[in-house]
Structure 1
Amino acid sequence: MIEMQPVLEVFPPEEFTLWPVAWSEPSGYLPLGGTLGPIEVGTAVMRLAEANDVDPEDARPPRPDDAPGAFLHGLLTMEPLFAPGGLRVIDTATGTAVVPGCCSGIEEWREWFMLVDGHTWTPYLGHDPDPLAERHGDIVRLIVDAERDDSPVIELPVADLRRLLADTERDLIAFHAWPPRGPSGTSPPTLPRSLPPSPAHWTYCPRLKPADRTGDFGMDLPRP
């Protein structure tokens, strides 16, 4: 069975005390979706804020003085955002996993549709490892590390890739809509009070328009 997940690259949070986060040693990938708990969502917000923690050099407002506001400033003002990670593909029968390389971002996930649309390969998927996705007729070959002659490979039909990308879109939409809604009468989970504001006011996933495959990773903040 072939599985695909949008994943965020995460690292151990060194001396991070603004809100509770999960540990990942030494580094790893956090799958994004609607089933994440408050701690995992807090970890995702921390990583996204950290990856976009750049001092303003343009028309963006100045960095606030308070610690949470200063840390979140890039996440709330950068456009577009960088979300380190990408799409992880796993063949559960063999254990082979194609993971995003360094410098790859989830905001570029729609570029995988190029294979479905008839292109023979996808653009840059990162380095160290150097994953590569190629189309050969009706088959897609996913190479774990194109720099290795003996690299493991996952092969799947183009039709299956289309289905997996649709599943990926649903995962991102569910993450975008966090917190999940439980059965009637069940309250959704909440983040720790120390994490401002609630994810209901953070829409930090791609703007998922079915006809739009540009794949930005932006913020739509509520207006006062």
Structure 2
Amino acid sequence: MQPVLEIFAADDFAPEEDHGPCPTDPLGAFLHGPLTMPDLFAPGGSRVTDTATATVFVEAGCRNGLETWRDRREVLDGTGCSSFCHAPSSAAGRVDDAVRLTLDTQAKDGSPVIELPLDQVRALVIGAQADLRSFLSLAGTRAGQHLPTHAAAVTAALTRALDPEPTE
């Protein structure tokens, strides 16, 4: 349940008024924000390192939480670019049959880049999607055991945040 607690703790804030009054019991108060807010932050995320140079191109962070994994689909299908955090301002974009990762899109003197084969990146995204499905299944089971009265709502909030639906 530790990863679930981390996700919920990251989203433990007072929701907007239209989400109803916050419960007064400690558990209800803790769950209120994450259960009522439409978009959740899920700490963690992708990390991509060029093993030849030990350069970290993508780091888990504020704009690269687990909830952003779906942004990679737009890169894979060639319709978008995916940004990852800031300082450095890393990004990924599709170039022919590859995905180009740029370490710092705001660098004045250019920035290191690497290109990964599209099929390799697609396999990684599909693997991440499968991992998220497994996580949600396990989290749902554990929520049923430890938070039976809130299990359905907790599972729904996690599913909303991580959205592991098929990409194809």
Query: TM-score, normalization: structure 2?
Result: 0.74
Mapped to 1, the partners of 2:138 and 2:51 lie a distance apart of: 28
Q: 1:174 corresponds to which residue?
A: 134
Q: 1:164 corresponds to which residue?
A: 124
Distance 1:115 1:211, change over 3 A: closer
Q: 1:78 corresponds to which residue?
A: 37
Q: 1:208 corresponds to which residue?
A: 164
Deviations 1:84-111 (A, max 9, x none): 4432223445433321443444323212
Of structures 1 and 2, the one with the larger relative CO (CA 8 A, separation 6+) is 1
CA contact (8 A) 1:53 1:71 kept: yes
Mapped to 1, the partners of 2:48 and 2:122 lie a distance apart of: 13
Within the candidate set 147, 152, 162, 1:197 is matched to 147
CA contact (8 A) 1:102 1:128 kept: no
- Structure 1, unaligned runs of 5 or more: 1-40, 181-187, 213-224
Q: 2:73 corresponds to which residue?
A: 113
Mapped to 1, the partners of 2:60 and 2:16 lie a distance apart of: 29
1:87 partner SS: coil
- Structure 2, unaligned runs of 5 or more: none
Q: Which one has a larger percent helix, Structure 1 or Structure 2?
A: 2
Percent identity over paired residues: 40
Tell me the matched-pair count. Answer: 159
Query: TM-score, normalization: structure 1?
Result: 0.58
Mapped to 2, the partners of 1:93 and 1:197 lie a distance apart of: 46
CA contact (8 A) 1:179 1:200 kept: no
